[in-house]
Amino acid sequence: MKNIKPLILFALFGILTFAQTVSGQTTARDTRNSSELAVSPYAQAVPNDSYTFIGISHPSMNSASSAIGVAVEVIGMTTTSNNAAGRASIFTVDAGETHRVFVVNQSHATINSSNAAFTDARTHIIPTVDSAQFGSVRVTTVAEDANTSVDVTQSAADGGATFKTFENLAQLSMWGIIYVESSGSGFAMEFIGDMQDSAIVGNLGELKAGGRGNATGGISNGIKQLGLVLVSTRIG
């Protein structure tokens, strides 16, 4: 019992520190660490034609931290506030949550900050100028060392097992679409670096963003997937 209070205080301190880091960060980190970085090779926002939608979900796996901070950044596109802060949206995805990100021209009639349907805490808009914009998307972790694990022990009722949890992008599922409004259709975006393109390495209890693709495909499989996406965007 004597150790419970220090443990609780330590946990609360960690949560508060994490919250301050997310709220204080205004730009995406320039990281090359594969476990802290995911990319999608194509995005666009064209007035009266199309926009980009991205969904980021936290499936709450045993290997995942209960809260993971991310920065979604558009590359090669001119945004309303055309600086590092204006090109990125930074937020925390809690266990079981899905966040929506829209990359859309600033004068869009429906998707804007005046519409209550797009102002909740889990919806984020990156507005671009009112001209055709084409680029890519880069997602990074807020945590500077996302592969540093924290041990979490279940309650006795849940089995009492201890898991190593991480804040890396291998714990999140990402999906996106370039949506063409006139036809009500579009084409999917591939994210290289989320949980769909990560492999289990080291201890089987630790899911880290190691080799891309499956356990046997590794990096070459990830390159093949990227090539397919590039081909599909050119055809579309």
Q: Does residue 197 fall inside a structural domain?
A: no
Q: Does residue 26 fall inside a structural domain?
A: yes
Q: What is the mean pLDDT of residues 108-124?
A: 96
What stretch of H or E contains 24?
helix 4-24
Task: Give CA–CA dist 45/121, Å, rounded.
Answer: 23
Q: Does residue 236 fall inside a structural domain?
A: no
Report the predicted TM-score, pTM, of the whole model to 2 decimal places. 0.73
Query: Which tens digits make up the pLDDT trace of 151-198?
Result: 998 888 788 889 999 999 999 999 999 999 999 999 999 999 888 865
Q: Does residue 233 fall inside a structural domain?
A: no
How many structural domains comprise the chain? 1
Q: Does residue 28 fall inside a structural domain?
A: yes
Q: Does residue 196 fall inside a structural domain?
A: no
Task: Residue 181: give the domain boundaries.
Answer: 4-191
Task: Give CA–CA dist 192/190, Å, rounded.
Answer: 6
pLDDT(108) > 90:
yes
Alpha carbon dihedral 174, 180, 183, 187, in 10-degree steps, equals -40
Q: Does residue 224 fall inside a structural domain?
A: no
Q: Does residue 219 fall inside a structural domain?
A: no
